Structure 1
Amino acid sequence: MNEPVLARLQQLMTLREEVETLGTLGSPWTPPADWVDEDTHLRLLLDVPGVDPESLEMHEEGGAVTVAGRREVPARLLHGERPGGAFSRTLPFPEATVPNSGEAQLAAGVLNVRFEKRHPTIDVRSEQG
């Protein structure tokens, strides 16, 4: 590639990063996710290959879990097909869970989060007469 084309490509990458920072277009990529039912637990699997573990953030609120992070785009990218930049994904729980019960692991590019299901209990009182 010649110098003017590389310079223009770098300008476009810089512009893309600035737009991402503003957040006007939302996340440039959305990692795919699966919910798995494990009887007493729910498991969230989120594909995040190439995401720096230090950039990952996760929190629960209002019956949903939000996962955010960032996959860096190489500064001297010559050809790019893999999306990069910041992402944020909010996934509603398919069933009620115990608040703050999430346990997360990251391995082989998959964020694996296990949540304990909340099973409502009903108090049964007996009348003694």
Structure 2
Amino acid sequence: MQRAVLFDLDDTLLDRSAAIPAFVISQARRLLEMQVPDAVRFAERFVELEERGRVWKDQVYRELGREFPPARHADERLLKVSAVVSKGLPLATGRGRTVAPAPGQWHQSRIVTNGRSDMQLAVVSALGLGDLMCGRHLSS
């Protein structure tokens, strides 16, 4: 009998390749008031700079501020909004059934991630998975 199950967050539970560009385009349009073509270029550059989550977002936003005039001096505001992820993030296809087992099927489940705690906790919450996980402690 299984005693515990670990789930990776990015690109396993979360369809990160769809979620990140959509989120950044929305952010550029709402907070920076960019037009769609510029917002799309902003999001494409964000994805390049962050190297699939390997580069912290504060560094990415600082660089974007140098490259995109509307983002100058907005890195703190963009970072703060990133930590409050909007509802409706896409679960990776077919993962809902995997994450919600029959009661008593296992004793503990955990989500593992190498992302920053505040950001990843917001993602877990936005995916609606917080109540399914035992122990919500993530290390930075």
Category of TM-score, reference length = shorter chain: under 0.3
The higher radius of gyration belongs to 1
- More helix per residue: 1 or 2? 2
Higher relative contact order (CA 8 A, sep 6+): 2
- More strand per residue: 1 or 2? 1
Give the TM-score normalised by the residue count of structure 1: 0.25
